[in-house]
């Protein structure tokens, strides 16, 4: 057993020190009828070489973004992951460290979280960001709970432009506090503001819009905020932080809370997890925020140091009155994002946005040239767009897989009214060749 | 034994009240602030809010703990100590003076008679320690 | 930490120099690249965010230096109770990084994700076998989410039977996530007093069990490291009143192959893959908190459920009674790969040896320290032991002081002040991956500190002295929160 150091001889010595005859003696407190009377029915242990061969074969059956051109989005994106990140996060002092409760032995983690909090606040245009929630969806759910706690109201007005799977998570988290979700329809790809005005009232805790929204379209966040605030509700904006190097940040458009999926900031797609839930808010809301917060302070000698702070919000102190039940979050993914943002830097992240939107617009134009194919919505889009196809999108996707193209996400399973639509995402990684090949293959597939 | 001013009245939740006519000034005791440790934040109601005897009106936070604040008497909040927002440490350094929290206009002045005297509070704290 | 380093005290922003960069982006290969020609002006950011401008060398050096200010399992013994800080195998890291896993999009067609779906299906089956449960959901992102999922499923179960129950019973020795998750699910938490041994007070339990109680939630072994031996009686008492029983699986490292929650009468349990199943702690996650259930709760499982039909794996969304979703996608797949790899590396005999050695190591530590520290309970412990620094407190040395002194002696501290029912608690979980030499060195250090407390506590009160920072002012951090770096004001 290569992970267990005790030899049989050492076990005997230790048992003798303890004063018992065998390991079984140490388990005597467990009543016999509680004992499992057989070994666990699991496959036998595999040697490392066999295991590697086995898993390589299993992994090889998956159509990944190294072997295929990936035009999939809908909440997970194939943005480039710069080479230094993996090397740094594989340092054992980072990835095998515990939560930084003993701050003197955890300054590495604490300082990088402080940097992360700063970067997320800068990108979102908000005053304060936490150390992470699990993913964008659970971050949104926590924002809904927080809006309820702050306003005392139960209704959450959710634009239909918010990711449908995020909506389901809000619904699940909303069960306990009995939150009511009100859906606000779209008009040509963005939130119908008249419908929003009608949906918002003095029972509304928060208005939620996504920017860009699930269909890739750019929302009028400022107008949504004005409607929310006029009714005494908070504005919660769901935003992909990768885009905020180029786009006007939600904080400048009236957001009270900004949440989003930070996976595009250097975290592998990894079949949907782990992810990175970004959570940022205005200063006056900080004591209601969920999740860990790292703050600056001084040590005994007056030197600068960092600690977990405002911990009385959290479950380990506040227990049933905690702002959230979250304990373990996704610190290592936050570290990946911190390093990513350091590498891309002040001007690089803007460039990622510029390339993504330039290529997305080129792709939309080329794909729409295919006979029978058109853009579903007229609203401005950023790096993602919905196409109407003349043939069933699922069949088109299956056909293009043979050309090693992951063509997009068919929208039927999210919205029955969109069963002819395919959601296509384009990042800075997609080359003109890949896009032209996609258009050619699409032409063949719908002919 | 920690400071327990004679002229005040006390609750089992370690709040004090200084009754002056139809008003009462309220805070937490020296014992309470010692138990809590360094106070970092106090959450208080707004002027105009109603508070009810032995129901919570706010929260006091230290680095390692949070405690509910219980109103000793029923009435309307007419003053709130705004200084505590910037200087929560006043609760530690001067709990009966500058660390005051609320002034209540009493709805039921007779309730004051049900609060503990300084002597009774002293005994209460000593017996709770055993 | 490698050594005491005087003064590496930079934040990445402080290394910034205008014009420096570390990125490598391709030139634009499509005709129109100016965003002003593609997007309405109002959407374009006026001023760039205040992000660093550093070179790749700056990045590598800065983060490498930061890492050297951390303790990790790779460099230090980490006896934190209930955290199971065991060795994180490196093969797990390699397998999670295989392109077919790491580079797979969650919405890739299912027919082209069979390897990933198969892995999830097999892991769920393995965890169900380990726990004696009928089904496992891999979706929760951490233990707390697993608890929320479990409690919501229990709630849905009672509602499906026309019963609206409002209370959940939780012992005062429980981890804080238990009452927090329960409150988030809309229940009132009723705290039960434990006996001094940490065991359930059966009379108190019976007195509280009624048809308004939805569930009883306990950790097994309990948070004092003791096996609750009357568990069958407990689960029977609960079931007699229709109360569901939930096991917090944080202490699973004690019972692999020895006993199983499903066999003890539990209806639900969660697993912490970042504890028992070696996925790394990462400084605070990501983890994974799968939840196991008995069949009667299956209709309520979060969606989608990974199913298999005729050798083909798929995501099943047709579950009208599901509690819904906890995360957008299917679970922390990267951590699931690591756990799957670990279970296959160990096999059934290996997993049994894990618990045997975890229990052995904890009892060894307990024996060596019981002369100098108060035990919290008599008899052998399981995989962790709880001591009290009551004796040391009489000399003015607290559990926190001991923790800080241990840092100077080269060890991460045990858990302190948990469980709440033990005064000056020190909870020690060595895990099975530590050698006897390490345990002896740790015990020697603890005994040294106990002696210092009696004769010369000065170094204890001054500790830590060898870490990059000394004791930190937590009060200042909470009174005047500074939660981000700010650019210095522009010189006028």
Nearest CB to C152: which of A172, A310, A398? A172
Q: What pLDDT digit, counting tens, does each position of A83-139 carry?
A: 999 999 999 999 999 999 899 999 999 999 999 999 999 999 999 999 999 999 999
Q: Say whether pLDDT at C492 is over 50.
A: no
Residues C340 and C364 in one domain: no
pLDDT band at residue A238 under the 50/70/90 scheme: very high
Provide the whole-model pTM. 0.95
Residues C426 and C303 in one domain: no
Residues C420 and C313 in one domain: no
Alpha carbon distance C2, B111 (integer Å): 64
- Does residue C440 lie within any of the structural domains? yes
Q: What pLDDT shows up at residue A312?
A: 75
For a pLDDT cut of 70, what percent of chain B falls above it? 97
- For residues B7-29, average pLDDT: 94
- Does residue C445 lie within any of the structural domains? yes
- Does residue C73 lie within any of the structural domains? no
A327 or C131, which is more confident: C131
In this complex, do A108 and C325 lie within 8 Å of one another by their Cβ atoms? Answer: no
pLDDT band at residue C396 under the 50/70/90 scheme: very high
Please return the burial class of C489, using the count of CB atoms within 10 Å of its CB with bins 0-12, 13-18 and 19+. exposed
- Does residue C3 lie within any of the structural domains? no
Residues C412 and C335 in one domain: no
Q: What pLDDT digit, counting tens, does each position of B21-59 carry?
A: 899 999 999 999 998 889 999 999 999 999 999 999 999
Residues C19 and C113 in one domain: no
Nearest to A292 by CA among A282, A305, A307, A281: A307
Chain A interface, best mutation among B65, B66, B68, by max A CB count within 10 A: B66
pLDDT band at residue A329 under the 50/70/90 scheme: confident
A319 or C72, which is more confident: C72
In this complex, do A295 and C478 lie within 8 Å of one another by their Cβ atoms? Answer: yes
pLDDT band at residue B63 under the 50/70/90 scheme: confident
Q: Say whether pLDDT at B124 is over 50.
A: yes
Q: Which residues of C touch A21 (CB under 8 A)?
A: none
Give the closest-approach CA distance of C248 to chain A in angstroms: 14
Cα angle: A293, vertex A288, B68; to 5 degrees: 110
Alpha carbon distance B93, C138 (integer Å): 51
Q: What pLDDT shows up at residue C379?
A: 85
Query: C80 has which bridge partners?
Result: C428
Give the closest-approach CA distance of C34 to chain B in angstroms: 48
Q: What pLDDT shows up at residue C34?
A: 96
Residues C40 and C119 in one domain: no
- Mean pLDDT over all residues of chain C? 94
pLDDT band at residue A43 under the 50/70/90 scheme: very high
Nearest CB to C29: which of A3, A329, A431? A431
Q: What pLDDT digit, counting tens, does each position of A45-72 carry?
A: 999 999 999 999 999 999 999 999 999 9
- Sorted by where each starts, the structural domains of chain A and their CATH numbers stand as 69-81+345-446 (3.90.1150.10), 84-338 (3.40.640.10)
Q: Within the 311-350 window of chain C, which residues sit less than 8 Å (CB to CB) from chain A? A: 317, 323-335, 337, 341, 343-350
Q: What pLDDT shows up at residue C5?
A: 45
- Does residue C86 lie within any of the structural domains? no
Q: Say whether pLDDT at A319 is over 80.
A: no
Nearest CB to C21: which of A172, A175, A347? A347
Q: Say whether pLDDT at C99 is over 90.
A: yes
CB A242 within 8 A of CB A352: yes
Q: Say whether pLDDT at B130 is over 60.
A: no
Distances (CA, A) of C50 to A120, A165, C17, C337: 11, 32, 12, 37
* Bond into C464 cis (ω within 30): yes
In this complex, do C403 and A338 lie within 8 Å of one another by their Cβ atoms? Answer: no
Nearest to C51 by CA among A429, A298, A352, A140: A352
Q: Which residues of A touch C126 (CB under 8 A)?
A: 42
Residue C239 sits in a domain whose CATH number is 3.40.640.10
Query: How many other C-beta atoms are found inside a 10 Å radius of the C-beta of residue C163?
Result: 12
Contacts of A414 (CB under 8 A, 6+ apart): A164, A165, A214
Query: How many other C-beta atoms are found inside a 10 Å radius of the C-beta of residue A394?
Result: 14
Q: What pLDDT shows up at residue A50?
A: 98
Q: What pLDDT shows up at residue C6?
A: 57
For a pLDDT cut of 90, what percent of chain A falls above it? 94
For a pLDDT cut of 70, what percent of chain C falls above it? 98
Alpha carbon distance A172, C161 (integer Å): 20
Q: What pLDDT digit, counting tens, does each position of C213-223 carry?
A: 999 999 999 98
Chain C interface, best mutation among A271, A327, A330, by max C CB count within 10 A: A271
Q: What pLDDT shows up at residue C489?
A: 85
Q: What pLDDT digit, counting tens, does each position of C419-457 carry?
A: 878 899 999 999 999 999 999 999 999 999 999 999 999
Q: Say whether pLDDT at C194 is over 90.
A: no
Residues C248 and C329 in one domain: yes
Residues C290 and C172 in one domain: yes
- For residues C377-402, average pLDDT: 94
In this complex, do A317 and B64 lie within 8 Å of one another by their Cβ atoms? Answer: yes
Q: What pLDDT shows up at residue C177?
A: 83
Residue ending a domain, choose from C310, C345, C380: C345
- Sorted by where each starts, the structural domains of chain B and their CATH numbers stand as 9-128 (2.40.50.100)
Query: C492 has which bridge partners?
Result: none
H or E element in which residue B80 lies: strand B75-80
Q: What pLDDT shows up at residue A42?
A: 98
Nearest to A174 by CA among A197, A192, A157: A157
User: Taking chain A, what is the end-to-end CA distance rounded to the nearest angstrom?
Assistant: 60
Nearest CB to A117: which of C12, C181, C484? C484
Q: What pLDDT shows up at residue A225?
A: 98
Residue ending a domain, choose from C325, C345, C365: C345
Q: What pLDDT digit, counting tens, does each position of C336-361 carry?
A: 999 999 999 999 999 999 999 999 99
Size of interface A-B (CB pairs under 8 A): 16
Residue C432 sits in a domain whose CATH number is 3.90.1150.10
Nearest CB to A406: which of C87, C108, C232? C108
ipTM confidence score: 0.97
Q: What pLDDT digit, counting tens, does each position of B80-113 carry?
A: 999 999 999 999 999 999 999 999 999 999 999 9
**How many residues does this entry show for chain C?**
492
Give the closest-approach CA distance of B105 to chain A in angstroms: 26
In chain C, the number of structural domains is 3
Q: What pLDDT shows up at residue C491?
A: 56
Residue ending a domain, choose from C345, C366, C388: C345
- Is A316 part of the contact surface with chain B (CB cutoff 8 Å)? no
In this complex, do C475 and B88 lie within 8 Å of one another by their Cβ atoms? Answer: no
In this complex, do B88 and C479 lie within 8 Å of one another by their Cβ atoms? Answer: yes
Residues C278 and C412 in one domain: no
Q: Which residues of C touch A393 (CB under 8 A)?
A: none
Q: What pLDDT shows up at residue A317?
A: 73
- Is C165 part of the contact surface with chain A (CB cutoff 8 Å)? no
Q: What pLDDT shows up at residue C175?
A: 84
- Does residue C436 lie within any of the structural domains? yes
Residues C181 and C216 in one domain: yes
Q: What pLDDT shows up at residue C3?
A: 45
Q: Which residues of B touch C478 (CB under 8 A)?
A: 38, 40-41, 61, 63
Strand, coil or helix: A159: strand
Chain B interface, best mutation among A284, A317, A323, by max B CB count within 10 A: A317
Closest residue in chain B to residue A322, using alpha carbons only? B66
- Does residue C188 lie within any of the structural domains? yes
- Does residue C58 lie within any of the structural domains? yes
Q: What pLDDT digit, counting tens, does each position of A341-390 carry?
A: 999 999 999 999 999 999 999 999 999 999 999 999 999 999 999 999 99
Residues C236 and C307 in one domain: yes
Residues C143 and C40 in one domain: no
Nearest to A176 by CA among A219, A144, A203: A144
Q: What pLDDT shows up at residue B129?
A: 65
Nearest to C100 by CA among A408, A399, A65: A65
pLDDT band at residue A307 under the 50/70/90 scheme: very high
Angle subtended by helix axes C114-131 and A48-60, to nearest 10: 130
The structure tokens 């951390």 sit at C70
Q: Which domain holds residue C32?
A: 12-67
Alpha carbon distance B59, B67 (integer Å): 6
Q: Say whether pLDDT at C1 is over 50.
A: no
Q: What pLDDT digit, counting tens, does each position of A222-231 carry?
A: 999 999 999 9
């Amino acid at each position: 057993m290569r992970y267990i150091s005790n030899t049989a001889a050492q076990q005997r010595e230790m048992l003798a020190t303890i004063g018992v005859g065998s390991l079984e003696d140490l388990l005597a407190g467990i009543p016999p009828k509680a004992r499992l009377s057989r070994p666990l029915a699991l496959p036998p242990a595999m040697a490392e070489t066999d295991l590697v061969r086995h898993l390589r074969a299993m992994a090889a059956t998956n159509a990944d973004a190294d072997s295929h051109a990936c035009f999939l989005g809908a909440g997970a994106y194939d943005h480039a992951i710069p080479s230094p990140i993996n090397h740094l996060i594989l340092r054992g002092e980072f990835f095998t460290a515990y939560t930084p409760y003993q701050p003197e032995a955890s300054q590495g983690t604490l300082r990088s979280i402080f940097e992360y909090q700063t970067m997320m606040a800068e990108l979102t245009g908000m005053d304060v960001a936490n150390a992470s929630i699990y993913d964008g969806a659970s971050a949104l759910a926590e924002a809904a709970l927080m809006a309820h706690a702050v306003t005392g109201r139960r209704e959450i007005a959710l634009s239909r432009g918010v990711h449908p799977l995020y909506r389901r998570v809000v619904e699940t988290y909303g069960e306990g506090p009995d939150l009511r979700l009100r859906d606000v329809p779209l008009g040509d790809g963005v939130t119908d503001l008249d419908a929003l005005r009608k949906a918002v009232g003095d029972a509304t805790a928060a208005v939620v819009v996504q920017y860009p929204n699930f269909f890739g379209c750019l929302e009028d966040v400022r107008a949504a905020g004005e409607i929310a605030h006029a009714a005494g509700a908070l504005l919660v904006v769901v935003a992909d932080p990768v885009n905020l190097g180029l786009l006007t940040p939600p904080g400048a458009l009236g957001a009270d809370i900004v949440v989003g999926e930070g996976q595009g900031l250097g975290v592998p797609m990894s079949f949907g997890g782990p992810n990175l839930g970004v959570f940022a808010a205005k200063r006056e809301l900080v004591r209601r925020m969920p999740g860990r917060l790292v703050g600056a302070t001084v040590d005994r000698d007056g030197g600068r140091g960092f600690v977990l702070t405002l911990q009385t919000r959290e479950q380990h102190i506040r227990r049933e009155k905690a702002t959230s039940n979250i304990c373990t979050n996704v610190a290592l993914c936050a570290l990946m994002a911190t390093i990513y943002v350091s590498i891309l830097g002040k001007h690089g992240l803007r460039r990622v946005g510029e390339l993504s939107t330039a290529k997305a617009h080129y792709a939309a134009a080329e794909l729409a040239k295919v006979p029978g194919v058109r853009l579903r919505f007229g609203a401005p889009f950023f790096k993602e767009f919905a196409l109407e196809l003349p043939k069933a999108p699922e069949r088109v996707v299956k056909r293009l897989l043979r050309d090693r193209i992951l063509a997009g996400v068919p929208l039927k399973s999210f919205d029955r009214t969109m069963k002819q639509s395919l959601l296509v995402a384009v990042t800075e990684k997609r080359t003109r060749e890949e896009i032209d090949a996609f258009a050619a293959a699409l032409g063949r597939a719908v002919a | 034994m920690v400071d327990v001013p004679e002229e005040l009245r006390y609750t089992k939740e370690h709040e004090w009240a200084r009754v002056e006519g139809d008003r009462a000034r309220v805070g937490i005791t020296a014992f309470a602030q010692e138990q809590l440790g360094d106070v970092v934040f106090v959450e208080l109601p707004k002027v105009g809010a109603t508070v009810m005897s032995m129901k919570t009106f706010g929260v006091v936070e230290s680095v390692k703990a949070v405690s509910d604040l219980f109103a000793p008497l029923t009435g309307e909040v007419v003053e709130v100590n705004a200084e505590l927002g910037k200087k929560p440490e006043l609760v530690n350094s001067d709990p009966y003076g500058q660390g005051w929290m609320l002034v209540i206009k009493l709805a039921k002045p007779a309730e004051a008679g049900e609060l503990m005297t300084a002597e009774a509070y002293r005994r209460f704290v000593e017996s709770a320690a055993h | 930490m490698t050594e005491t380093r005087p003064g590496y005290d930079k934040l990445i922003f402080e290394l910034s120099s205008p014009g420096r960069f570390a990125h490598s982006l391709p030139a634009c290969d499509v005709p129109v690249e100016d965003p002003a020609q593609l997007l309405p002006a109002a959407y374009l950011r006026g001023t760039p965010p205040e992000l660093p401008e550093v070179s790749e060398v700056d990045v590598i050096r800065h983060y490498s230096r930061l890492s050297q200010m951390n303790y990790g399992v790779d460099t230090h013994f980490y006896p934190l109770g209930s955290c199971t800080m065991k060795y994180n195998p490196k093969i797990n890291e390699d397998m999670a990084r295989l392109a077919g896993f790491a580079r797979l999009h969650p919405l890739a067609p299912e027919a082209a994700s069979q390897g990933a779906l198969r892995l999830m299906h097999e892991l769920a089956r393995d965890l169900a076998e380990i726990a004696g449960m009928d089904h496992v959901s891999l979706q929760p992102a951490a233990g707390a989410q697993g608890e929320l999922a479990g409690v919501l499923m229990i709630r849905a179960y009672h509602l499906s039977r026309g019963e609206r129950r409002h209370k959940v019973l939780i012992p005062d020795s429980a981890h804080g996530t238990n009452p927090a998750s329960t409150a988030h699910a809309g229940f009132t938490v009723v705290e039960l007093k434990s006996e001094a041994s940490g065991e359930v007070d059966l009379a108190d339990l019976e007195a509280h069990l009624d048809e308004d109680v939805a569930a009883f939630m306990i950790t097994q072994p309990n948070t004092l490291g003791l096996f609750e031996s009357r568990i069958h009686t407990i689960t029977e008492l609960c079931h007699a009143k229709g109360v569901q029983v939930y096991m917090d699986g944080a202490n699973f490292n004690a019972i692999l192959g020895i006993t199983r929650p499903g066999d003890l009468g539990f209806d639900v349990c969660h697993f912490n893959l970042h504890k028992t199943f070696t996925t790394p702690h990462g400084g605070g996650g990501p983890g994974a908190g799968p939840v196991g259930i008995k069949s009667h709760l299956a209709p309520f499982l979060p969606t989608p459920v990974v199913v298999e039909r005729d050798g083909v794996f798929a995501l099943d969304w047709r579950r009208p009674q599901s509690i819904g979703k906890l995360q957008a996608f299917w679970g922390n797949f990267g951590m699931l790969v690591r756990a799957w790899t670990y279970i296959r590396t160990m096999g059934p005999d290996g997993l049994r040896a894990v618990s045997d050695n975890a229990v052995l190591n904890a009892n060894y530590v307990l024996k060596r320290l019981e002369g100098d520290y108060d035990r919290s309970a008599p008899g052998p412990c399981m995989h962790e032991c709880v001591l009290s620094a009551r004796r040391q407190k009489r000399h003015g040395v607290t559990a926190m002081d001991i923790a800080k002194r241990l840092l100077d002696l080269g060890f991460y501290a045990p858990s302190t002040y948990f469980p709440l029912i033990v005064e000056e608690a020190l909870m020690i979980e060595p895990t099975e991956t530590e050698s006897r030499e390490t345990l002896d060195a740790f015990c020697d250090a603890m005994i040294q500190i106990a002696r210092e407390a009696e004769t010369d506590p000065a170094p204890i009160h001054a500790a830590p002295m060898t870490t990059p920072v000394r004791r930190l002012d937590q009060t200042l951090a909470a009174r005047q929160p500074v939660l981000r770096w700010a650019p210095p004001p522009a010189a006028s």
